Structure 1
């Protein structure tokens, strides 16, 4: 039976190397079609937030469940007794500088992700990176206090609910005017969905970082 697997693997490898993919002729480029239908120059954002919006809804929901799962699974563990963070000045300066750059990139991608490469998920990751860099140079109590003071957990849940509601409305056929292609206020509801995903991913990353630091320390 082992030789059958080996022969099948070799045949598949030969097929991938020697057999060319069939060429299709389209009257219009796929990218051009996506840009025309979505009203934004970033075809990737057009696909994520329009052509496959149904899938994106569940991606956001799965990310939310993952955050809740991390809190649930670690709830029975004892909090980490001693939580250390960087105290030397060069490391703090470099981490804070990196956090500032990541935060600015996240804001830019969140606002203009439908016009340039990037998008809501990338913006949220950049924001989460900024929060993580601050977390390794500051006390966990200070980070937790800021998280509670700004009600970040509530804003995260609100962003998810608003995203789902707007997505359902969009899937039902209701869309805002696209506006002029390439401008900031273009693409209908797509820029708002992009911003909501950025907020949700950044705040969700913040919650996960605090949970792991609280129960596991800085790994």
Structure 2
């Protein structure tokens, strides 16, 4: 089979050298302009995710929620780990918390301005989850649990999902907020709110998963 893989790789290499790359014509660019005008946001990716294919995005959020519930269900009957090793040397702690601060600021920026520039709710949630993960490797798991409970993160996560679904259904029905002026912070109707809700959901869901795996598997 190795010779077959070698022939396939060589054919792919020849294809990249010989066949030209497709060049966007004016009709394809007109599609982008149509998406911008219909969604009211300059980031066409956000326009597609939260308007043109909003039905798919609803189920992506639901699938993420089910995955978290599934993780809790699968680990519910296991015994929590007794020891959790974490970073204790001062340089590692400082670098991790500096990185967490930067990731948190990036998360806020992507959530608020994701409809204007590259970014959006999912990217913002990943950045927020990264910040929480960096804090988790330098802090006691008991303290992380206390903060999670104090801020009622689980409740906020569930409420954000419900509000997202409600706004998405309203949008699919055909009722939308005024688009506003293209390129401004308050533009795009419901899209900025959907971005923020998705960012909350992904970040807080990541926090729940991190705590869950630290509790039952230790620091991964």
Deviates more, 1:19-28 or 1:82-91: 19-28
- Provide the rounded CA distance (Å) in 1 between the counterparts of 2:32 and 2:24: 17
> TM-score normalised to the size of structure 1?
0.91
Give 1:84 shift: 1.4
Q: Report the CA distance shift for 1:22/1:93 in structure 2 as closer, same or farther (over 3 A).
A: closer
1:27 & 1:122 partners in 2: Cα distance?
26
Q: What is the CA–CA distance in structure 1 between the aligned matches of 2:210 and 2:23, rounded to whole Å?
A: 47
TM-aligned CA deviation for residue 151 of structure 1 = 0.4
TM-score by length of 2: 0.90
- Relative distance call for 1:12 and 1:132 in structure 2 (3 A) is closer
Structure 1 gaps, min length 5: 1-5
Aligned residues, how many? 219
The one-character-per-residue Cα deviations of 1:94-148 (angstroms, maximum 9, x if unpaired) are 0000000000000011111101100000000000000000000000000000000
Give the equivalent residue in structure 1 for 2:120: 119
1:27 deviates by 7.9
Aligned to 1:56: 57
Distance in 2 separating the partners of 1:166 and 1:59: 15
Cα shift at 1:169: 0.5
Relative to structure 1, the CA distance from residue 99 to residue 11 in structure 2 (aligned partners, 3 Å threshold; closer, same or farther) is: closer
Once residues 182 and 174 of structure 2 are traced to their aligned partners in structure 1, the CA distance between those partners, rounded to angstroms, is 20
Deviations 1:39-67 (A, max 9, x none): 00101100000000000000000000001
- SS of 1:215's equivalent in the other structure is helix
Cα deviation for residue 18 of structure 1 reads 5.9
Cα RMSD of the aligned pairs, angstroms, is 2.3
Runs ≥4 residues deviating over 3 A? 6-25
**Deviation larger for 167-176 or 31-40:** 31-40
